[in-house]
């Protein structure tokens, strides 16, 4: 399976990749995007099975990426790993079709709990 990791922080993308490996998902094809527009483009062109996105990114926010993908008919499993979490954000994510919402800091156990049902 292919996983797209979208975050404007290179360090945070590396942490997400490392945590995916620690949780047992390191054998998947991991693709990275450094901003929202790149995330949208790669989600469209590379057909990932899962998108793990930050909320706040340059060019386009994570929630805007999700909304644009859904508007284009793209049903990829999509969710957020973000440092901010308000009830409004969670509600907007759910309404847009988000599959999960993980708040930083996170653990390999949390990744396993969330991604095992999605990735098998």
Element (H, E) at 101: strand 100-103
Q: Is 98 helix (H, G, I), strand (E, B) or coil?
A: coil
Domains with residue ranges and CATH for the chain: 2-119 (3.40.50.2300)
Give the pLDDT score at 97: 97
Does the structure show a pLDDT above 90 at 120?
Answer: no
CB burial of residue 64 (10 Å; 0-12, 13-18, 19+): middle
Give the pLDDT score at 52: 98
Nearby residues of 75 by Cβ (< 8 Å), 6 or more positions away = 97
Q: Tell me the per-residue pLDDT of 79-95, one tens digit each, with 9 for 90 and over.
A: 999 998 899 999 999 99
Does the structure show a pLDDT above 90 at 1?
Answer: yes
Q: What one-character-per-residue DSSP string does 49-92 give?
A: SEEEE-SS-SSS-HHHHHHHHHHTT---EEEEEES---HHHHHH
């Amino acid at each position: 399976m292919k996983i797209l990791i979208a975050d404007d922080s290179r360090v945070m993308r590396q942490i997400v990749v490392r945590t995916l490996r620690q949780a047992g998902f390191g054998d998947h094809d991991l693709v990275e995007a450094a901003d929202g527009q790149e995330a949208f483009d790669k989600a469209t062109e590379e057909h990932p099975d899962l998108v793990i996105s930050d909320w706040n990114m340059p060019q386009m926010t994570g929630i805007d990426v999700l909304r644009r993908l859904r508007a284009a008919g793209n049903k990829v499993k999509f969710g957020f790993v973000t440092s901010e979490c308000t009830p409004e954000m969670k509600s907007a994510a759910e309404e847009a079709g988000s599959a999960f919402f993980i708040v930083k800091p996170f653990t390999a156990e949390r990744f396993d709990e969330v991604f095992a049902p999605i990735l098998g």
